[in-house]
Copies of this chain bind each other. A is one copy, B any other.
Amino acid sequence: MSRELELATALRPVLLRLNNAVRRQVPSAELTAAQCTALATVLDHGPLRMGELAERERVSMPTATSVICRMEKLGLVQRRPDPGDGRAVLVELTRSGRKRLEEVATQRNALIAGLLTRLDASQRDAIAAAVPALTAMLALDQVPRAEPMRTTGSTTG
């Protein structure tokens, strides 16, 4: 087994379970997981066309439409026509959406910080040192897109 595959085998369950733990312990009745990540994506890359959002979230366009519709009714995002293309729309955060996202992020960060506080300083250092590498790994995944998804879902976030 390659060194990379060994590391992947050790890393994957940790990533997934940490993620689940954070999601499940901070239910955040005010924002579902799909809403939370969609909002974060629009914050980071908006204004976004519906197709771009779907691509970044790795969901189908009808799913993106559905999630955005709901959040538009909640006043968290707004849609406006794309001036350059009559078929397209541009999605962006409202002030309320931005505020809500910050609140949820704060709750979740506090949970993680609470766990970190209970580790040794050397353990915290190791995690801090890995963050740039994990970020680089994520960036590698950003590039190759384009393949439509077919499948059972994810619930993300």
Chain B, Cβ-Cβ closest to A124: B7
The interface on chain A, measured as residues whose beta carbon lies within 8 A of the other chain's beta carbons, has a size of 75
A62 at the interface (CB under 8 A from B): no
Segment with Cβ contacts to B, from A45-53, A73-81, A85-93, A110-118: A110-118
CA distance A2 to B153 in the complex (A): 18
CA distance A24 to B144 in the complex (A): 13
* Proximity bits, A128-157, B CB within 8 Å = 1, else 0: 111111111110110000000111111111
One complex includes copies of this chain to the number of: 2
Is B127 a contact of A11 with CB atoms below 8 Å? yes
Specify the main secondary structure of chain A where it touches its partner.
helix
A138 and B21 in contact (CB under 8 A), knowing A7-B131, A13-B157?
yes
Q: With A18-B134, A126-B130 in contact, is A9–B119 under 8 Å at CB?
A: no
Q: Which residue of B lies closest to A118 (CB)?
A: B140
Q: A14-B134, A119-B137, A137-B116 are in contact. Are A152 and B27 (CB under 8 A)?
A: yes
Contacts of A117 in B (CB 8 A): 2, 4
> What are some 12 contacts across the A-B interface (CB < 8 A)?
A5-B109, A7-B131, A13-B154, A15-B19, A15-B134, A16-B19, A18-B138, A20-B37, A23-B154, A24-B59, A33-B155, A119-B140
10 closest pairs, A vs B, by CB? A24-B58, A27-B151, A130-B130, A123-B133, A8-B112, A16-B157, A8-B113, A13-B157, A4-B116, A19-B19
